[in-house]
Amino acid sequence: MPPVSRRLAVLAFSAALVAGSGCASGGGDETITASDRAVPFTFDVPKAFRKAGVRPEASKGDPPLLIYKLNQLNLVDVRKSAGRELARDDIQRQVARSLARLGFPGKRGDREEHNRIDMARFEISNDVVGTKASSRLYFFSGGGGTWELECQSSGERAAELLEACAIAVDSVEFKGK
């Protein structure tokens, strides 16, 4: 299964894998800067978000490399989708095919630019651990790979998560730039 397909195969399980919390460093008065050695870029999230770990043994695929969450269903996570930088058109085609195989036919990615980075955005609705959730999936290339920043939202904190998602994608910055 291609890396993008493998990543999407675990989409429905991402919220169930989140555990623990911590703090991030950096950021301005209202945000913190999310960073991890395994991820070649940083992004900002509101201070209400806490860094979370995953239980790799619970994953049926590659777990996220970095997670910031409000709660179990409202989170921003980062995954490596491919070990090389793919063109946005290739990303859009591969992700659309993978989503169709996972039961989300007809999904087409929107072309967007955030902080001078070309991105492909997909939106899906799903049941996560028996609860309705929505995900905005942003795919982009840089730093030697293709990455996904997922914004998963549900329930009464969904609006707060969507605001945080806009902050996150607009602040993606590759390290060393």
CATH superfamily of 3-174: Mog1/PsbP, alpha/beta/alpha sandwich (3.40.1000.10)
Q: How many CB atoms lie within 10 A of CB 46?
A: 17
* Terminal Cα-to-Cα distance of the chain (whole angstroms): 33
Amino acid at 28: G
pTM higher than 0.85, yes or no?
no
Domain boundaries, the chain: 3-174
pLDDT in tens, the chain (177 residues): 455 444 444 443 333 333 333 334 444 579 999 999 999 999 999 999 999 987 554 344 568 999 999 998 999 999 999 999 999 999 999 999 988 988 888 888 899 999 999 999 999 998 888 899 999 999 999 999 999 999 999 999 999 999 999 999 999 999 986
